[in-house]
Amino acid sequence: MTEHSERVLNDINRALTTTKRLESRARKLRNEKARLLASTARSHLESARLYQRTAVGLWPSDPKHHKYTDRARGQFYLGQSHLHHAKVTLKRGH
């Protein structure tokens, strides 16, 4: 379980790195819509990272780790969705 939780944390951190790069590129290209989408994605992913860190800290002694893992998963999916839309927006140049 701990290995899996740490892998999830690594996935979240990797997505955050990608998002920060994309946000920077959108800012440089003056694409406000893509920058806002990337910024929203970053916010969701940072929230997911906090929830996942809490879950890792609680496991295995506290059953509440399930609640935090579920919240982390939800925030991660929202972040991934916004990140995808930011990438598409930047490619299209809207």
Q: What pLDDT sits at residue 17?
A: 97
Q: What pLDDT shows up at residue 2?
A: 56
Q: What is the pLDDT of residue 3?
A: 66
Enumerate the domain spans of the chain: 2-92
pLDDT along the chain (94 residues), means of 10: 78 96 96 97 98 89 89 97 97 83
pLDDT the model gives residue 5 = 80
pLDDT at residue 6, rounded to an integer: 85
Contact indicator for 25, 16 with CB cutoff of 8 Å: no
Cα–Cα distance, 46 to 13 (Å, whole number): 9
**Residue 1, pLDDT score:** 47
CA distances from 41 to 15, 54, 60 (A): 9, 20, 30
d(CA 62, CA 40): 31
